[in-house]
Amino acid sequence: MLIKRKSIEQQESSRPARKPRYAPVTLSELNGVRYLHFGTEWVQGAMRLRKPDWLELEYAQQMMAWMLWIPQPLRIAQLGLGTAALTKFCYRQFPGAQVCAVELNPSVITVCESMFKLPPNDERLSVLEMDALDFVNDAANHATLDALQVDLYDATARGPVLDSADFYTACANCLAPHGIMTVNLFGDHPSYAKNVKAMKFAFGHVICLPEVHDGNVVAIAFKTRPALDFVDLAARALEIVADSKLPAKSWVKGLQSAA
């Protein structure tokens, strides 16, 4: 889901005299799964109607790979709400964590509340209508996050709309020393190499899991280079499978193939 071009939101938000325009939010359903689109055929997220808190798409499951190193996060942030799948999962899975989601398009927030069972804000959940770049540049958020999940796409769904070294440096600044960022990329596109290069500039270590779906690649960026003890990681994966049913054993295999 990705293209190297500025989003409608970015283009319009740079013109303060005009009201921002947003890509239309549209829905489709097939075989018990509801999908979010921005006026095109590109899927921006999905929810199985009978399992609204489950991570339906495999790349979304891989975005949780930071769980291999951080079993009990205290603060998690999501840049780009999508169908709120990751936000809802983190909110339910980690009852001791503060969960924050950042979304620029107010219609996406409204649709998530009405059609994708996003719960209302409370003492643990905060969905913010704001630019992701403003969020990561806010000094109040620096060194506060255990996990940061980045899934920023526009209507073309071909490349992250924020992809510079400065952006990823700001993301790194938001993480605690042990913090981990996961990013949804598109492997078969020039934006992939640019994003990985920018992440490697900003982070101590970057690993990309094997490609899934129609080209989605999840990058795992570590502020501090981790110890890749695959025996320990395999044991941790079994705990994750038992606790959450996420396919964590496949993440460890992917890490081994990338090592």
> Whose CA is closest to 60, among 86, 87, 28, 27?
86
> Does the structure show a pLDDT above 90 at 112?
yes
**Exposure of 195 by Cβ count < 10 A (0-12 exposed, 13-18 middle, 19+ buried)?**
buried
Taking only the tens place, the pLDDT of each residue in 233-245 is 999 999 999 999 9
- Mean pLDDT, rounded, of the chain: 91
Six-digit token string for 87: 């936000």
Percentage, residues of the chain above pLDDT 70: 91
CA distance 43 to 76: 24
Taking only the tens place, the pLDDT of each residue in 43-58 is 899 999 999 999 999 9
- Phi/psi at 175 (5° precision): -90, 145
Owner of token pair 């921005």? 38
* Confidence grade of residue 157 (pLDDT, cut at 50, 70, 90): low
User: How many CA atoms lie within 13 Å of 159's alpha carbon, on the beta-carbon side?
Assistant: 17
- What mean pLDDT do residues 6-16 have? 41
> Does the structure show a pLDDT above 50 at 139?
yes
Task: Look up the pTM and report it.
Answer: 0.90
CA distances from 33 to 51, 60, 93, 175, 178 (A): 9, 15, 21, 34, 36
Q: Which residues pair with 102 in a beta bridge?
A: 79, 128
Six-digit token string for 127: 């969905």
